[in-house]
Structure 1
């Protein structure tokens, strides 16, 4: 939940990761250095997401991370900046045991206008 007073309440399950990453075992499952993938934040940095918390990171293709998700994240940020209280949830979906998400589901419910549910395929 984000509110206009920049207070956040976030619930993320998992374990934290050191930063800078010196141990490759602490990278998100499915991520490989030099693979062209991004360490995608489920809760975006602009929405107070932590990039040093492995529970908040998944491997994403660049366009998914920097373009498709960012459009929705910007909508949430704009709503919060205008004083709207927004419940925002992001959920990666997986195919079997594959550690690479097949898609990302983003959901927002605001007390004014911020409302959407979107599924973004994690493809090149």
Structure 2
């Protein structure tokens, strides 16, 4: 976390093939930086999510350092973080070791990231390098390293 603003700055891990974390999540009552006072219910859940930088299935914790406030679409839309987390899980399932990096990109002193950059490279050729917009429409842009 950045000392003055107390917002998460990123997660880096080397993920090894093997079983993914399937434990029940706990501690969902805290408000990460940028969490709204009112989180309106939408057709498919809530407008905002507590988004893991290092995904829960990869051993990411419910600690403030690992959680950012995301629009639901940035987390779960067809091209949101969940898609790339599943792709990474498939690479692990096929036996690849994966270097995994997720960095929230903030605008000035904002507490909610404007983008989330995801980069992963596997030992067998797997590669993702995307920037996901943290918005209600959440588009993803390939940044071109893969």
Q: TM-score range by the shorter chain?
A: 0.7 to 0.9
Q: 1:58 to 1:20 in 2, by over 3 A?
A: closer
Instruction: Tell me which residue corresponds to 2:87.
Output: 75
Instruction: Tell me which residue corresponds to 1:19.
Output: 27
Separation in structure 2 between the aligned mates of residue 49 and residue 96 of structure 1, nearest angstrom? 26
- Aligned pair 1:53/2:63, yes or no? yes
Higher helix share: 1
Aligned residue pair count? 110
Separation in structure 1 between the aligned mates of residue 50 and residue 28 of structure 2, nearest angstrom? 13
* TM-superposition CA deviations, 1:17-70 (whole Å, max 9, x none): x9253xxxx5211012542211111111122212x2111100000011112111
TM-score where L is the length of structure 1:
0.80
* TM-superposition CA deviations, 1:63-120 (whole Å, max 9, x none): 1111211111111000011110000000000000110100000000111121121000
Unaligned stretches of 5+ residues in structure 2: 1-13, 21-25, 40-46, 137-146
Separation in structure 2 between the aligned mates of residue 70 and residue 33 of structure 1, nearest angstrom? 25
RMSD after superposition: 2.0
Which structure 1 residue ranges, 4+ long, deviate > 6 Å from structure 2? Answer: none
Higher strand share: 2
